[in-house]
Structure 1
Amino acid sequence: MFLFLLLCTSGLLLRGDAQDRAALWRGNDRSGRCQYTFNVPSPTEASCPQTGGPEVEGLKARLSLLEVLVSRLTGGDTGGPQGATARDQTELHKSLNRVTGERNLLQGEKERLEQELLGLQRRMEEMRRETERLRNKPFGLARPAGGSRPSHLITRPNRQGDSSSLRDSAWEIGPQGFQELKAEVTEVPAPDGSEENTGCGDLISVGEPVTHRKADTIAGKYGVWMQDPEAVSPYGPNMIWRIDTIGSDVRQLYGYEDMEQLTKGFPSKVLLLPELVESTGSTLYRGSLYYQRRRSRSLIRFDLASESIAARRDLPHAGFHGQFPYSWGGYTDIDLSVDEQGLWAVYSSSKAKGAIVISQLDPNSLEVKKSWETNIRKNSVSNSFIICGKLYTVASYTSPDTIINYMYDTRTSQGKSVAIPFKNKYRYNSMIDYNLAQRKLFAWDNFHMVSYDLRLGRQE
């Protein structure tokens, strides 16, 4: 009995000592929840056989997080530092090979462009030498018998049969191409200060040329630029359009939002025309582009909004593809233009024997409404334009100081010689048209798009 009491007393003493050393811990776990931990030291074990506890678990969690981060940084591969190094080397090799290939492609493109540049420079030098040779060749113009000065307009030989050629006349430079023949002229008195520009009188003077842009490539040596005087949606009234006409596949029409964008060279619209364009005689009117189809006398009305052909018609008896061009050539047989009275065509025919014919056209159907035959030959002048129903012709396309030498009034069916100074600033003017929208002349002079201010007299 005494032994039993002794054992019970010892158990209680040990239990009380254990309670004195017991500890209650409270804290948040990794998820933020409150966790209670009650620890009682073992009376028999000096140490635990395995390590554990919240601190160890926290360390394990942190190590796991570090492993995940390292795995993400190395692309998901847990192959260790050596695997990561091998992958880096492989990626570097791939990048190096890619850059080397691109460099080789650029080098090849550079060499190709250098070869093209050398070829163009050789061609330009050959053309320059040929031009100089032809300019130095005497023209040998004959005067009519019985007088020291011509009694009528001097004309150069008509270049018949040129339509069979398969080459562009832009590259065909012959002796006749540089014959700049001048008509007998009559002096026009200078206007006094009382005269005003009333808008539809006779042309009195043409201002100095103002350059707006130079074409970027050889395709822009000749071309046409224009503005619609009665623009139709979706294009605004400030829209400027341009066609480069060098080459055998001319069909791109470039549009610029305004003159500033043209100067900067940033087209906002590029249209691909369904039929090839012949020369520099195109014009714009009431939302349509009017142009001559290549190697034919067909006129085309191309609707800009629908980007489709709205009308097509042959111009009766008109010469085409080099039969009756202007003196500079370029297959300029049919020249379309717009003025205050509508749409016009300037051309010639075998019946007119090379003399300029003026026809007023219906802008919708392209039918000829009325025609006039003048007494000046088309290939004796370099270009022409129409203002207020009056045709004006320019004597030379290369002379820096030439004249507007002839005027024909469709209202009176009468023509007369005039002498209005005109400048070819860049000495190769391949297009001159009246721009009704700005009441100026637009011209294409040896890669350059230029404009001229105009002064008109009183309406008679």
Structure 2
Amino acid sequence: MTSILWIRFVVLNCAIYLICNSEAAEECVYQYDMKNNRVKISCEKGAAIHIVDKDGISLARHTGINTETIPIIVQLNRSSISSLNDEAHKATKKLSDASKLLRKVREDLTLQINNLINLTTLLQRGDDELKNDLNTLRRHDLTSPLAREAIIAALQNQYNFLRMGLLSQNTQMNELIRTTMRLTTSIMKTARGARGVGEILDLRADVMNETLFNITKLMPGGFEHGTFFGEKTVFCPQELKKISKKGTSVTTGVEQGAIMLDSHTPENIWVMYGYVDINEVTQFDSLKSLKFEKVQKIFELPFSCVGTGHVVYKQVLYCQKMFTNKIAHYSLAESRWIGERPLENVSVHSHFPYQSGKNTDLDFAIDEKGLWLIYSTNNTHGDLVVSKVNEEDLSFDGTWVTQIKKKDVGNAFIICGILYTINAFDTAPTHINYVYDTNKGKGKRLEPDELEFVNAVENDYARVYSLDYSPSDQALYSWNNGRIEIYPVSFLDENEP
């Protein structure tokens, strides 16, 4: 059956749609060339690619690709880049002109400083000669007319010499003042030129960021090498090396809850207080605002969530619907309910929770690869299960059964498709006791000293009710008995022996 794949690119204010008709449309490969601002599409044989703009006007059509993979090059809108290049050229010219002026001012200053040094030397020499003349006169009889004439002549010569030196020095000082004023002007022009270049570079970076973000977000599978989160590209695979012992904390005053960071909109923080009958999502613009309870917005849900395993991904809330085996999603961006899905054979009602109990049956997670669900089923007899969740219809794109009981886990998080579980929710310090790599389908237990986790920032008392990894800032966010705690993490270096 022929499938149709729609890809929408919003690049530099230009919307481009690609329609790929193929028996395996998802096998098309898309590569974005930053240097030349174009997209290269390579599809398997039998594909038909139709490129239209946002108004449906045909830009290109390629059909009958039935022999081998043939790359199609789509040149994206370059007008914005050209405009930025023009502005960058102007700013660079200003900076170049200012640099030339600075060089000229530096040459003038060097010349004037040398002239002042020479004048000072001459004035010093004239002063010394005057002293010598006076000493000579003291040794002679000053009553004769010749002596008086000699004194007058000597004083006149010295006066003329000093007057000439001082006038020259004043002239050079005035020139120095004017040159200094030119120096100030040239520095201001240099600063303006540099600021102009900096602004253009910032604009170019913003354009590239927006381009990469939209392409990565809308392409099936994203880039093979990593995922783009606003200001940086996060690369996989990444294997956890260390969890920082020096975390930070924010007191909430509510024993249980969930803090949610969306890797695609890291400027916001969402919080759901409590663990049962929760129908409100509170939005903050920073941790400081959360600390001082400066609420940005409150969303009222048309249903109630349960537990502390909720997440926000691409401005959509995912949670377990209260007293059901259903997972639901709600758009925070559009303030509307999207849908729900029942999970067969998934144990709920605290049948297979984490160690803490209290409705921790279903635990959503986010990593560089997308949306996940951590749970257990009757069929696995309580063994922890991980599923990759399709964000559109809540179906599972893959499921992996681990070799650890969920009741033996304090909590869990996922990084680059690798599951990490902590040994205890109420012990500080604790450690990572089990790792399962969904990329390889293999798991292993860890010794207490292999991956330590302090599990509490301020003291040795811990009751961790939720623990999630944030790929946008590469840190763990924990809800620990009324405190939100944040622990930066680091990863293994592939070059290490």
Q: TM-score when scaled to structure 2?
A: 0.50
Q: Per-residue CA shift, 1:4-62, capped at 9, x if unaligned?
A: xxxxxxxxxxxxxxxxxxxxxxxxxxxxxxxxxxxxxxxxxxxxxxxxxxxxxxxxxxx
Which residue number corresponds to residue 261 of structure 1?
A: 289
CA separation in 1, counterparts of 2:443 and 2:242? 18
1:42-191 aligned within 5 A = none
1:387-402 aligned within 5 A = 387-402=415-430
SS of structure 2 residue aligned to 1:317: coil
CA separation in 2, counterparts of 1:259 and 1:332? 25
CA separation in 2, counterparts of 1:252 and 1:212? 23
SS of structure 2 residue aligned to 1:276: strand
CA separation in 2, counterparts of 1:318 and 1:361? 15
SS of structure 1 residue aligned to 2:386: strand
CA contact (8 A) 2:367 2:415 kept: yes
Q: Are 2:433 and 1:405 aligned?
A: yes
Which residue number corresponds to residue 359 of structure 2?
A: 331
CA contact (8 A) 1:300 1:313 kept: yes
4+ residue stretches of structure 1 with deviation over 3 A?
197-200
Amino acid of the structure 2 residue aligned with 1:224: A
Which residue number corresponds to residue 453 of structure 2?
A: 422
Residue 258 of structure 2: which of 203, 221, 224 is its match?
224
Residue 307 of structure 1: which of 311, 325, 335 is its match?
335
CA contact (8 A) 2:326 2:340 kept: yes
SS of structure 2 residue aligned to 1:432: strand
SS of structure 2 residue aligned to 1:328: coil
Q: Per-residue CA shift, 1:226-259, capped at 9, x if unaligned?
A: 111113xxxxx3111111124x432111100122
Which residue number corresponds to residue 481 of structure 2?
A: 446
Which residue number corresponds to residue 11 of structure 1?
A: none
Which residue number corresponds to residue 279 of structure 1?
A: 307
Going by fraction, where is strand more abundant, 1 or 2?
A: 2
Q: Considering Cα pairs closer than 8 Å and 6+ residues apart, tell me whether 1 or 2 has the greater RCO.
A: 1
Q: TM-score when scaled to structure 1?
A: 0.54
SS of structure 1 residue aligned to 2:307: coil
CA separation in 2, counterparts of 1:327 and 1:343? 23
Which residue number corresponds to residue 271 of structure 2?
A: 242
CA separation in 1, counterparts of 2:279 and 2:246? 28
SS of structure 1 residue aligned to 2:398: strand
Shift of 1:263: 2.4
CA contact (8 A) 1:199 1:456 kept: no
Shift of 1:209: 5.0
CA separation in 2, counterparts of 1:414 and 1:210? 30
CA separation in 1, counterparts of 2:235 and 2:334? 37
CA contact (8 A) 2:325 2:342 kept: yes
Instruction: Indicate how the Cα distance of structure 1 residues 371 and 198 shifts in structure 2: closer, same or farther if over 3 A, else same.
Output: closer
CA contact (8 A) 2:248 2:487 kept: no
1:352-391 aligned within 5 A = 352-391=380-419
- Which residues of structure 2 form unaligned runs of 5+? 1-233
Count of residues in Structure 1 that have an aligned counterpart in Structure 2: 255
CA contact (8 A) 1:442 1:449 kept: yes
Larger Rg over CA atoms: 1
Alpha-carbon RMSD: 1.7
Which residue number corresponds to residue 114 of structure 1?
A: none
Q: Per-residue CA shift, 1:372-410, capped at 9, x if unaligned?
A: 001100001110000000000000111111111110000
